[in-house]
Homo-oligomer: A and B are copies of this chain.
Amino acid sequence: MAEIVFKHQHRIIYAECTVGNHVYYARYLDMLEEARGEFFRQTGKPLRLWQESGTAFPVIGARIDFKGPARYDDVVTIELWVNEMRGVRLNIGFRIAHPGGGLLAEGETRHVCASLEEKPQRLPKELMEQLKPYVRLESEVR
C-alpha cells in the first residue's frame, strides 16, 4: 500500500493574524477544516454530500504542536493523511509548513463517524476505500 499525502495551500490574511504579526493559534484549526474539506472533495465525495446522505464526521479531539510562526501573506502548505481508520473512528494527521520547508505546526484531529442525530455509526466502506491510499504505512486499518 503506497503512502500518499494530501496537500492544500492557503494564504494567510490579516483576519488570521494577531499582535506581533503571527497567525493566532486557534486559526490553524480553521485552516485544517478548509484543508479537510478539499481532502474529502478530492478523494471522491465532498463533506456536504456525506452530510446530505446523513453522515457527518465531527471532531472529538485535536492535538497541535506549534513549531514556528506563519505571518501575513505567507502561503502555507497543509498536508493531511490518515493515522487511523476503523470502526467509527477516523484520525487525520497533519503538518503545516512553509513551502520552503519550515515546519509551522503538526498534530492530529480525531473524528467520529456519526448520524446527523449525533449517533456513532461505522465508517462507510465507500469512504474507507477512498481514503485507503492516504493511510500511513505504520498505521493500522481494520
Chain A residues packing against B (C-beta within 8 Å): 11, 13-15, 17-21, 24-27, 29-30, 33-34, 37, 46-48, 56, 58-66, 69, 72-73, 116, 118
Contacts and interface: CB of A to CB of B under 8 A. Distances in A.
Given A14-B24, A15-B18, A61-B63, 11 more contacts: A14-B19, A17-B19, A19-B20, A19-B72, A20-B56, A26-B26, A29-B29, A47-B73, A58-B66, A61-B64, A63-B63
A17 B18 contact: yes
9 contacts: A13-B37, A15-B30, A29-B29, A48-B72, A60-B65, A61-B65, A61-B66, A63-B63, A69-B118
4 A-B pairs closest in CB distance: A26-B29, A48-B73, A15-B30, A61-B65
A137 to B, nearest CB: 25
**How many copies of this protein are present in the complex?**
4
A21 B27 CA distance: 17
Of A15, A58, A60, A69, chain B has the most CB atoms within 10 Å of the CB of A15
A34 B69 CA distance: 20
A131 B117 CA distance: 38
A25 B59 contact: yes
